[in-house]
């Protein structure tokens, strides 16, 4: 079973307890009569983190102190699925080393974003049960203290080559292309990625999102952010696993431009 096979549908029988692990997050599933019980457990020790482990029966053994959630799904429902989805708020990416793009140049970065998990029940008509982040990112504020936006903070190496990055089943690679058409050099101290407009795709080795293209025209000029509607083309891409949380609208473009003035963290 490959690491990315964890996103497939799984069967659960009455009275059965299944355990699945994605990075530091363990998922527990239990079926009793017409109810499906789901619990999450976050492993504290980094050395216990495995990449991914599909649902396996644990013969009635379950971790103590689990906080189970109960969903009435019906007697016939014996299938569930866990899918990756982008975080529910924008992510502010802090490159480990500040990046500078001279005027007239463009650069492509691969930002690895930890996904959230969406648990669905049912075979054809699926019911959404709950969502949980695999990694808990710290909160940050993007913008001024009066009218900014609450985001997640993410330290990233912002790699230039996809072959340099390690594939990880609970991180989606987001290709970000930045063009500097302004007359000045662009210093990127941090970058706000509106991940709520990104779809998630399954690739050969990685999870992927659609490409983001940012055109910087200057501090005082309105910038432009494009979210590609095409699948990323950096490795063979399979099906789309989850749609964007929010469709791209003109108003969102304006908001992104508003944040653009803080693009370089000044």
Partner 1 sequence: MFLLAGINWSKLVTMENINSAIRIVVLLGLGFPLLLFICTLAGKAAKKRFTPQVSMLIRKGIFYFGSILLIISVLYQMGFKLTALLGAAGIAGIAIGFASQTSVSNIISGLFLISEKPFAVGDLIKVDDTKGTILSIDLLSVKLRTLDNQLVRIPNESLIKNQVTNITRFPIRRLDIDIGVAYKEDVGKVRSVLLDIAKNNPYCLDEPEPLVLFLKFGDSALEFLFAVWFVKADFFKLRNSIMQEIKERFDAEGIEIPFPHRTLYTGSVTEPFPVEIVPSKAKKPKRPG
Q: Which is nearer to partner 1, 107 or 135 (CB)?
A: 135
Q: Which of 14, 49, 130, 136 binds partner 1 (CB under 8 A)?
A: 136
Neighbours of 26 (CB within 10 A): 19
Q: Report, in Å, the least distance between residue 147 CB and partner 1.
A: 8
Residue 99 token pair: 């990046």
Q: Near partner 1 by CB under 8 A, which window of 9-17, 29-37, 135-143, 253-261?
A: 135-143
Give the DSSP H or E segment for 231.
Answer: none
Q: Which of 65, 145, 236, 266 binds partner 1 (CB under 8 A)?
A: 145
Q: Report, in Å, the least distance between residue 163 CB and partner 1.
A: 30
Q: Which among 198, 189, 179 has a CA at the least distance from the CA of 261?
A: 189
Q: Which of 74, 95, 148, 218 binds partner 1 (CB under 8 A)?
A: 148
Q: Report, in Å, the least distance between residue 250 CB and partner 1.
A: 20
Q: Report, in Å, the least distance between residue 20 CB and partner 1.
A: 24
- CA 147 distance to own-chain centroid: 25
Please report, in angstroms and rounded to a whole number, the separation of the first and last CA atoms in the chain: 47
141 near partner 1, judged by CB under 8 A: yes
Q: Which is nearer to partner 1, 138 or 161 (CB)?
A: 138
28 near partner 1, judged by CB under 8 A: no
Give the DSSP H or E segment for 258.
Answer: helix 250-260
Query: Strands of 25-32's sheet, edge to edge?
Result: 50-57, 17-23, 25-32, 35-42, 69-72
Neighbours of 33 (CB within 10 A): 9
C-alpha 262/C-alpha 259 separation (Å) is 5
DSSP letter string, 56-78: EE-TT---TT---EEEE--SS--
Q: Which of 67, 146, 163, 236 binds partner 1 (CB under 8 A)?
A: 146
Q: Report, in Å, the least distance between residue 44 CB and partner 1.
A: 13
Residue 126 token pair: 């699926």
Q: Report, in Å, the least distance between residue 138 CB and partner 1.
A: 5
Q: Which of 92, 93, 111, 162 binds partner 1 (CB under 8 A)?
A: 92
Q: Which of 20, 21, 78, 140 binds partner 1 (CB under 8 A)?
A: 140
Output DSSP code: residue 159.
Answer: B
Q: Report, in Å, the least distance between residue 145 CB and partner 1.
A: 6
Residue with tokens 């399954």: 202
C-alpha 66/C-alpha 2 separation (Å) is 28
Q: Which is nearer to partner 1, 3 or 92 (CB)?
A: 92
Q: Which of 40, 71, 80, 142 binds partner 1 (CB under 8 A)?
A: 142
Q: Which is nearer to partner 1, 147 or 251 (CB)?
A: 147
> Which residues are near partner 1 by CB under 8 A?
92, 136, 138-142, 145-148, 150, 153
């Amino acid at each position: 079973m490959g690491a990315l096979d964890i996103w497939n549908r799984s069967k659960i029988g009455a009275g059965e307890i299944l355990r699945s692990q994605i990075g530091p997050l363990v998922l527990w599933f239990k079926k009793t009569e017409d109810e499906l019980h789901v619990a999450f457990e976050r492993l504290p020790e980094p050395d216990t983190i495995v990449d991914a482990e599909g649902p396996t029966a644990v013969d009635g053994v379950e971790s103590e102190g689990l906080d189970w959630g109960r969903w009435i799904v019906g007697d016939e429902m014996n299938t569930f699925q866990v899918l990756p989805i982008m975080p529910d708020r924008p992510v502010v990416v802090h490159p480990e080393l500040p990046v500078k793009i001279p005027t007239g140049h463009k650069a492509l970065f691969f930002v690895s974003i930890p996904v959230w998990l969406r648990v669905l029940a049912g075979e054809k008509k699926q019911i959404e049960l709950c969502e949980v982040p695999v990694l808990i990112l710290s909160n940050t504020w993007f913008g001024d203290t009066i009218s900014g936006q609450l985001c997640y903070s993410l330290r990233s190496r912002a790699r230039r080559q996809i072959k340099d990055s390690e594939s990880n089943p609970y991180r989606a690679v987001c290709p970000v292309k930045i063009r500097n058409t302004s007359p000045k050099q662009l210093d990127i101290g941090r970058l706000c990625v509106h991940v709520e407009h990104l779809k998630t795709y399954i690739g050969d080795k990685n999870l992927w999102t659609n490409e983001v293209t940012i055109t910087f025209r200057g501090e005082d000029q309105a910038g432009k952010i494009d979210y590609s509607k095409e699948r990323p083309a950096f490795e063979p891409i399979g099906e789309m696993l989850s749609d964007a949380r929010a469709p791209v609208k003109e108003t969102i473009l304006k908001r992104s431009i508003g944040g653009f003035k803080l693009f370089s963290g000044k």
